Amino acid sequence: MVASPAVADPRIKPYASLLLDTCLGVEPGWQVLVWAYPNARPLVEELIRQIGERGAYPVLRMTFGGGLVYHRDWLRTAPMELISRPAPVDVHMFEHVDALVAVSAPDNTRDGVDIPPERVAAVHSAYGPATARIHNTEIPWVMCFYPTPALAQDAGMTNAGFADFLYGACLLDWEAEHRRLEGYAEHFRGAKEVRIVGAGTDLRLSLEGRPVEVDAGTGNMPGGEFFACPVEDSAEGTIAFTEFPALWGGRDVRGVRLRFSAGRVVDASADTEEEFLLETLDTDEGARRIGELGIGCNPAITRYMRNTYFDEKIDGTVHIALGHGFEDVGGRNESAIHWDMVKDLRPGGRIEVDGRTVQENGVWVADGAL
C-alpha cells in the first residue's frame, strides 16, 4: 500500500503571497533570489510557483547551514585568504538580482558555534560591497522562517504549537499594524534624547536628525517594530541584558552588561561567553558603537523564543544592535557585525523621549501623547 502524500499546511499559500506581495512587491521580469534550507521545501516550491505567476524569475540558492554569502562547512575549512575574497559569480548575482527572500529552516540552531569570530567577520567584510544593495535596502528583501523541530525546541514548544505561533505572528493585518506603529514612532522622530531605564539600565542616546522607520510587513517577517540609527557618539550610560541571552553565531551570551561613553562601549562583561563577547567587540572600530535602536511592538509575540528575529519584536521590549548602521535611515557606523541584543522593559522599565515618559512597564502611556 502506497502512503498518501502529506497534506500541505493551508497557511503556506497566504504566507508566500505575503512575502512576495506585501514584503517585496514582485513585478514582472524581476529576478528574485530565493535563499533557503531544504527543510523549507513546501514554502520554497510555493514561492517559485507564485513567482512564476507574477511573471518573474526565481534564482534559487540552497544552504545546509550558514549565512547568505557562505556555507558553514566551507567557512570552517577554507583558507583565510580565500574567505577574504568574494566569489566573482556571487558578486555578479548580488549586484543584479531585483529582490531577495531568505527562508531560514535550520536542523540545528547551534551549528556554527565552533567557527572563530575572525572567519565570520572576514567573510562579511569580503561580501560587504556586493551585498550593500540589500543592507541599504536599494532592493526589496525579506528574511523569514519556516517551522522546523529545531526552532520549536529552542522556543520550548511542540512542532504544531510553533507553527501556530509563527503563522500567527506573520499573518496579521499589516496595514493596520503600520498605522498603529506609526503613531508610536512619531514620538521618537527628531528626539534629542531617548532615555531607556530598567533593571541595571540607564542609557541615553540621540535620534536628532535621524529618521525613524516602521517595519510592519517589510524587512524581517514577522515584522512589528520601529527603529532608527542613533547619532553615533551620543550613547551614554549603561544597559544590562539580563532577561534574555544575547544570541550570536549560535552562542548564548548571558548577562551582557555594557557601559557607553561618547557613543562607544568602554566596559563590557557577561556571565557566560565573556571572552567571545570581548573578541566580537574588537572585530573592528565600529563594533563598539550602536548601529540601531529598535522598539518591539508585535502583539502576537509576548514571550521569549530564543530567536532574535522574533524576540526583538516582543511587545514591550527594546533592542540595540552593536555594529553596522543602516545607511538608508541615516546610519553612519560601519562594521562587519550587526548584533541585536534585546532588553525587556515590561518588569519595571520605561522609555522617556525628551523628558516625557512614553512607555512604562511595556505599555504606551497617554501622558506621552503628542
Q: Which residues of 29-52 are buried (b: 16+ CB within 10 A; e: fewer)?
A: ebebbbbbbebbeebbebbbebbe
What pLDDT shows up at residue 3? 42
CB atoms within 10 A of CB 247: 20
What pLDDT shows up at residue 70? 81
Per domain, the residue ranges of the chain are 12-170, 174-368
Phi, psi dihedral angles at 261 (to 5 degrees): -140, 130
Task: Average the pLDDT over each of 123-132, 178-187, 361-370 and give the range with the smallest value.
Answer: 361-370
What average pLDDT does range 226-235 have in this prediction? Answer: 95
CB atoms within 10 A of CB 2: 4
Distance of CA 155 to the CA centre of its chain: 17
- The span from the CA of 237 to the CA of 216, in Å, is 30
The model's pTM is 0.81
Tell me the pLDDT tens digit for each residue of 144-181. 999 999 999 989 999 999 999 999 999 999 999 999 99
Task: Average the pLDDT over each of 108-122, 143-157, 248-262 and give the range with the smallest value.
Answer: 108-122
What is the DSSP annotation of 205-273? Answer: E--TT---EEESSSEESS--EEEE---TT--EEEEEE-SSPEEETTEEE-SEEEEEETTEEEEEE-SSS
For the chain, how far is it from start to end, CA to CA, in angstroms?
68
Residue 228 C-alpha cell reads as 532608527
What average pLDDT does range 133-137 have in this prediction? Answer: 83
Mean pLDDT of the chain: 91
As its CATH architecture, domain 12-170 has: 3-Layer(aba) Sandwich (3.40)
The contacts of residue 297 (CB under 8 Å, 6+ apart) are 180, 181, 184, 224, 225, 226, 313, 315
What pLDDT shows up at residue 255? 94
CB atoms within 10 A of CB 90: 17
Tell me the pLDDT tens digit for each residue of 311-358. 999 999 999 999 999 887 888 899 988 999 999 999 889 999 999 999
Cell 502583539: give the residue.
299
What pLDDT shows up at residue 108? 87
Residue 238 C-alpha cell reads as 549603561
What average pLDDT does range 259-283 have in this prediction? Answer: 94
CA angle 342, 336, 137 (to 5 degrees): 80
What average pLDDT does range 254-261 have in this prediction? Answer: 96
Nearest residue to 203 (alpha-carbon basis) of 235, 167, 180, 161: 235
What average pLDDT does range 95-111 have in this prediction? Answer: 91
Widest pairwise Cα distance in the chain: 71
Residue 301 C-alpha cell reads as 509575540
Q: pLDDT band at 55, cuts 50/70/90?
A: very high
Residue 20 C-alpha cell reads as 512576495
Asked if residue 43 has pLDDT above 90, the reply is: yes
What pLDDT shows up at residue 6? 54
Determine contact, residues 46/13, Cβ cutoff 8 Å: yes
